[in-house]
Chains A and B, each alone.
Chain A
Amino acid sequence: MTAKELCETFDYASERALSRDHEAIHVPADKLIACVTALRDEQGYDLLLDVTAIDWGMGTSPRFTGVYHLFHTKSIAYLRVSADATGDAENPVLPSLTDLYPAANWHERETYDMLGIHYEGHPDLRRILMWDGYNYYPLRKEFPLAGHETEMPEPDVVAATEGAINPTAAPMMGGPFVSPQTGNMSTREPRARDESWHETKPKGN
């Protein structure tokens, strides 16, 4: 069905004008579950391909928009559904589609991991690509490309092993193909943008 027909069927949906290829609709977050259920059961969009989100930057409102890609296997058609996340800029919330599509499970975990969007109703929302104790959400726009320094080894590991674990230099350290390991991240990483505004201390001290 085209976006226009879908917007007539679901009166809370609006067309997403940014889409250059597929039909795309935009729904409010509280109607998302109802809309996707109807799309799956009545309209026949039986394959959930992708769940992702876009961060519009600090200071925007709404800051995050969840984007879902559904597929109609009988008529070979894609549909893009987007919904703005509720909540504030630091703790956005979207409803979870895991009950409807088990495929959403890992995708929502990844979006939570990368952007910090909390999916309500998700059975097991924990980080999937980064490790569990990681404190940041890397794909947010304020996260620098060169990354933040994290304590390695973790303080609790050092305490538990009584300092027996020392971070050893990896092979090739100091060689011509490896960036220097001391100094601030902005000098160590050649492609890093100017991150000096947030660096706390140079590594190696």
Chain B
Amino acid sequence: MKTDYSFGDTQTRAALYEDGELAGETMTLNMGPSHPATHGVLRLELELDGDYVTKCDPVVGYLHRGDEKIAENMTYNQFVPYTDRLDYLAPLANNVTFVLAVEKLAGLDMPPRAECIRVLCCELARLSSHLLGMGVYGMDAGAWTAFMYCFTVREQIYTLIEELCGARFTTSYTRIGGMTRDLPDGWLEKVRRFTDEAAKTIDDLDKLMTRNKVFLDRTKDVAVISREDALAYGFTGANARASGIDLDLRRDKPYCGYENYDFEVPLGSVGDCYDRYLVRLEEMRQTLGIIRQCCDRMPDGAWFAEDAKKIYKPTKDKVLTSMEELIQNFMLVTEGPQMPKGEVYFEAENPKGWLGFFIHSKGGGVPYRLKIRGPSFCNLSILPKIVPGWMMSDIPIILGSLDFVLGECDR
């Protein structure tokens, strides 16, 4: 099954090997869905000439779970746990993006405390995702220590998240109209102490990898994605910024109160694997800055929209004692939060790129059509273009630099 695209510069290099002195035929190698370096269940059908890749055809869909079909049968709140499992390395960020999309449909505004908690959750998720991405990237390149350092910090993040919402991983912390529960007492001080430790680890990671000769040799000028290519293939997020596209939804089209925070957006120039690593490293530091600002200025107040009577569940004590809240609870649980007719498309700056939700609603508590635009799906489509021409041992480097996750790609 050969795909025949017409490629740019990287493929002309591969064509040299095809038209030049070929020692024999090309070999077809399957880098199967079960592989330690493919970051999930990604299958690559490779055609190799010796060590060099001449064709690369990714096969995705091994993690397809039918989320969009399921969404047509679930109320909006019932779908929140499914969003955890999209980018499962940053579940809090997915939760927030989904409820922001639904709240856009409903036209709801959140009180400042809810917005601040959501920003804090998103940034913790971003830190967790980048730590894993760069730790595993180091491991793919051979730097085991980097991986261990990153995962130690991630364990601390998981402990924090477990105290926040009960689960390390599948958080489901947001609801349409607010959060599930308020922050635990003393949690913000723990987050603040954690940021100091995380800053030290990011510095350690920097010292280990950024000037490391082996890492530089493996990643510098490998798989350069030009700005035009990145735009053409729908790249967003850190991958796009590494290629020189200066776009960050948190700064350019702020949502959820991001305009109140002070942070910079790193921009790359070359667009090679090393740039993608550098951009994420600096993003981690900026994220720590935002987390500290959230902890400092967490406003008091409600963590849910108090005027959203038909959307956010009333508190349990009122439900058990008052008739009106009992009915509201009943209607919300059985029929779901009632949304107006119309369609919205909301994107947020998730760690992997721009996660978008397109909701077409015909009224009622269940969406008519929900499309999840997973950034990893878009990022992976460039693989047939950039992998050919490089050696097979460059493949984990290229895959690791794109930092995708198959949960969002396959949904």
Contact = CB atoms under 8 A, between A and B. Distances in A.
B346 A21 contact: yes
Interface stretch (A124-132, A152-160, A180-188): A124-132
Chain A facing B: main interface SS? loop
Interface string A38-56: 0000000011111010110
Interface string B214-241: 0000000000000000011110100000
B356 interface: yes
Contact of A20 (B231, B344, B369): B344
A49 B373 contact: yes
B233 A103 contact: yes
A67 B165 CA distance: 36
Given A54-B369, A69-B356, A106 B377 contact: yes
Nearest to A131: B61
A18 B381 CA distance: 31
Contacts of B381: 102-103, 105-106
Contact of A123 (B5, B252, B341, B373): B5
B68 interface: yes
A203 interface: no
Contact of A145 (B70, B105, B368, B385): B70
The majority secondary structure among interface residues of chain B is mixed
Contacts of B232: 101-103
Given A106-B378, A145-B70, A129 B342 contact: no
Interface string B91-107: 00000000000001101
Nearest to A132: B1
Contact of B342 (A19, A46, A124, A145): A19
B60 interface: yes
Contact of B345 (A50, A73, A76): A50
A31 interface: no
Interface string A11-29: 0000000111110100000
Interface string A106-137: 11001000100000000110011111000000
Contact of B64 (A69, A73, A130, A193): A130
A145 to B, nearest CB: 5
Contacts of A138: 66, 69
Contact of B233 (A55, A76, A102, A147): A102
B340 interface: yes
A49 B347 contact: yes
Nearest to B247: A73
Contacts of A69: 345, 356, 358, 373
Contact of B61 (A47, A103, A130): A130
B193 to A, nearest CB: 37
A139 interface: yes
Contacts of B107: 20
A18 B358 CA distance: 13
Interface in A185-202: 191, 193
Nearest to A48: B234
Nearest to B62: A129
Given A130-B61, A139-B68, A22 B368 contact: no
B4 interface: yes
Interface string B359-394: 010000000110101000110110001000000000
Contacts of B73: 145, 191, 193
Contacts of B4: 123-124
A73 B354 CA distance: 13
A101 B69 contact: no
Nearest to B228: A46
B247 A145 contact: no
B176 interface: no
Interface string B50-75: 00000000001100101011101100
Contacts of A24: 343
Contacts of B245: 73
B322 interface: no
B253 interface: yes
B231 A128 contact: no
A104 B312 CA distance: 37
Nearest to B6: A123
B64 A129 contact: yes
Contacts of B231: 46-47, 73
A20 B102 CA distance: 11
B104 A21 contact: yes
Contacts of A114: 68
A123 B360 CA distance: 29
Contacts of A54: 360, 368-369
B410 interface: yes
Give 8 closest A-B pairs by Cβ, nearest first: A103-B234, A129-B61, A20-B342, A106-B381, A52-B371, A129-B64, A50-B373, A76-B252
17 contacts: A19-B344, A20-B342, A49-B234, A49-B356, A49-B373, A49-B378, A52-B373, A54-B368, A55-B369, A67-B358, A69-B345, A69-B358, A101-B234, A103-B234, A107-B377, A123-B4, A143-B69
Given A143-B69, A145-B72, 5 more contacts: A20-B342, A50-B373, A69-B345, A76-B247, A138-B66
